[in-house]
Amino acid sequence: MTDQARKRYQIRIMLAIAIYVVVLLGVWPLAKSTADAWLKALYALAPVPPILYVIWLMAQRVLASDELEQRTHLVGLGVAAAAASVFGIVSGFLAAANVLEPDAAAAALIWVFPLMIVAYSIGQLVSARRYGTTPCIEEGMPLALRFLYVVVLFAGLAAYLYYRKHNLDAASTALGMAVGVGVCAVGFSIWRHLRKRSSQQ
């Protein structure tokens, strides 16, 4: 994959995620206040197309990879599948034993895809390191810029929930996510810097 194609891929992913957040905030809440079953289902599933587009982009990316990159993608996929399975089993058992409220158990399913993406990236990163290569998350657009994008997205979400919806709990969660991603980004940058320095010595 050329640098140009890589940048194009990352911009498309970022756009799809932005659309997902907008739909999640603007369209999905309408499902709760709509009586018509079809319209309710339509609003409830509105955030799915951007996610399907992201999955399609990722598949194209893997298909365009060479044999070594495909191997690291396979490890990432394996780690993601394991993480999603563990998450599913744990939340399923907790819900079956009524430890988790049915609403909470249903809401937990929304986190399966983000969890898979994070686990996939970690798996691919570890695998790529083994071969002395750079994982795809470190290529193309600067990583700091992409982290900043996620932080801004969560901070925007927190502001929307606080000022428009007056939902302090949800706004606090979104703000916590923004801070969490920011802290992870700083920690990751420090780790990369130290690793680079030790490899130069």
Binding site for other proteins (CB under 8 A): 1, 65-69, 130-134
Q: How far is the CB of 199 from other proteins (least distance, A)?
A: 13
Q: How far is the CB of 138 from other proteins (least distance, A)?
A: 11
Q: How far is the CB of 63 from other proteins (least distance, A)?
A: 13
CA–CA gap between residue 169 and residue 194 (Å, rounded):
37
In the complex with other proteins, which residue's Cβ is closer, 65 or 173?
65
The CA-based dihedral angle spanning residues 103, 107, 112, 118, taken in that order and rounded to the nearest 10 degrees: -140
Q: By the 8 A CB rule, do 119 and 84 touch?
A: yes
Task: Indicate the residue type of 187.
Answer: G
- Going by C-alpha positions, the residue among 152, 139, 137 that lies closest to residue 160 is 152
Burial class, 114, CB count within 10 angstroms (exposed 0-12 / middle 13-18 / buried 19+): exposed
In the complex with other proteins, which residue's Cβ is closer, 60 or 65?
65
Q: How far is the CB of 56 from other proteins (least distance, A)?
A: 22
The gap between the terminal CA atoms of the chain, to the nearest Å, is 31
In the complex with other proteins, which residue's Cβ is closer, 34 or 65?
65
For residue 11, give the DSSP letter. H
Q: How far is the CB of 195 from other proteins (least distance, A)?
A: 16
Task: Indicate the residue type of 71.
Answer: R
In the complex with other proteins, which residue's Cβ is closer, 129 or 165?
129
In the complex with other proteins, which residue's Cβ is closer, 130 or 164?
130
